[in-house]
Amino acid sequence: AETSNGAKIFEANCASCHIGGGNILIAEKTLKKEALSKYLKNYDNDSIQAIIHQVEYGKNAMPAFKDKLTPEEILQVAAYVFQNAEQGW
């Protein structure tokens, strides 16, 4: 998993703020399952799509990535985040 394309995209674009599935800016808003369920809109209904939306448009201090990553890359990194949230990072 660590050498998947999703992992590489995460390391290059997300890990600066979300190292280890955490959040260096807003400590409670991690990428762990419980936090995603609590804070990320629609996560419980459609997890991958909810992550994709956050990555495309950003939120507050998190930048938008829709002009920086391709749709395929955004899907890959969202799947990587979901898989790690399920596994416990």
Contact between 48 and ligand HEM per CB under 6 A: no
In whole angstroms, how far apart are CA 7 and each of 22, 32, 42? Answer: 15, 16, 23
Question: Per CB under 6 A, does 82 bind ligand HEM?
Answer: no
Q: How large is the greatest C-alpha to C-alpha distance in the chain, in angstroms?
A: 30
* Distance between first and last Cα of the chain: 11
User: Would you count residue 75 as binding ligand HEM (CB under 6 A)?
Assistant: no
Instruction: Point out which residues bind ligand HEM (CB under 6 A).
Output: 13-14, 16-18, 23, 25-26, 29-31, 35-36, 39-40, 51, 54-55, 59-63, 65, 77, 81
